[in-house]
Amino acid sequence: MYNKAISKKVVTVFGAAAIVIIILIVLMIYSILKDMKMTRLAIALDDAHVQAITDAGFTKDEDGHAYIKNDIIMSFEINTKGDNQYNFPYVSMVFMKSSENIQSEILIYDARNKLYKYNQVDASNKKYELTLNENLEISEVKVPGKNDQSDTAKQNELRGAIIDRLEKFYNTFGFSAENALGLNCPQEVTDGAAANTTFGMGYITKFCTQSDQGYKYSSSDEKLQLLVFPNGGESYDYPYMTIIDKTLNVNTTFVPQTNTILCNYAQGETLINVAYDIKSETIVLYKEGGLNRTEKYANDAVTKNKIKNIYETEIKNIQNIFSLSPDMLLRHNQPFDFSATQEDTENNTDNTTDQTTDQTTDQTTQQPNSTEEQNRIDSENP
């Protein structure tokens, strides 16, 4: 009896262990097959596409198959392989509080099935879902309430939101969501983009008033003023914005395309002009009363800390107004020509780099003219 009981226990234990092993093997096989499937569906981008994506401000993630660009109230991802959430290559756009009536929006472009999946949560916490096919026709809709299912006006509104986000994506980054993964963009999007704006432009027009020189914002106490030039202006060909901070007594110009800020302030009775490269955290130009003293101050720790503090303060001021960074506000890449050969693309990239470097040098040299810009602002705001 004793031996039989032991035998039964042994059989039970071994049986349970065998079941666990089988389950683990099945899960392992499933994981391998899933990875193989995702690898098979992965999109390999050529150098031209990678160049366009990185030029648009996207950063490659650690896994190497996704490019991400995050900001405070919006984020974007170009994923060439898929992940645990989506097992297909995709482009995602996430927006928080894009209007008073909308809490959040998520737009997913499914590159495998050529579908556009849109999810919106409104201010009353109602959730709406709409799917468009590759011809941008409504293929599936989920809205709260039986009566809302046949609400064509609401469906068209949601479809319009999808088209609007696709057009703004194209205008902002210089390529469409489809182009980002090597696919063709619907004609409706490229045609409509001409009459639409960028993501940042919508916030510029929301908080600023238009003037002959660009767009202007003033705080209620007049201690903070902004001049925004989405298409460039008198000082720079690139989009830029100048902040007049009367609390710090400093003028700061952000030029995202060159990753540069330019500050001018008084030190005693002397006007100081500093050009600072944000990425490398280096002083690229230092002028003291119009005299070039870059060699002397290039590695000066006190000056670097001062500029860093100015940068952090003004970034917060901009974000408090727009809930976006200067880069996202001013981002407006020209349409990228993917039809160019790889050799042409490389040549264009080299030329663009040289031109950007030359123009940045020329324009930072003109920084003392910021005094004229201040005079113009003062004349407009007596």
Q: What is the per-residue pLDDT for 268?
A: 92
Q: What is the rounded (10 degree) CA torsion for 302, 308, 310, 312? A: -150
The yes-or-no verdict on residue 4 having pLDDT over 90 is no
Q: Which of 219-233, 279-293, 368-382 has the lowest mean pLDDT?
A: 368-382
Query: Over the stretch 222-235, which tens digit does the pLDDT of each residue have?
Result: 999 999 999 999 88
Residue 293: CB atoms within 10 Å = 14
Closest CA to 91 of 64, 67, 57, 120: 67
Average pLDDT taken over every residue of the chain: 84
Query: Over the stretch 302-333, which tens digit does the pLDDT of each residue have?
Result: 999 999 999 999 999 999 999 999 999 999 99
Report the alpha-carbon distance of residue 382 to residue 379 in Å, rounded: 6
Place of tokens 């952090």: 312
Residues, the chain: 382
Sign of CA dihedral 360, 366, 371, 372: negative
Q: Which of 83-87, 132-136, 308-312 has the lowest mean pLDDT?
A: 83-87
Let me know: does 171 contact 38? Beta carbons within 8 Å: no
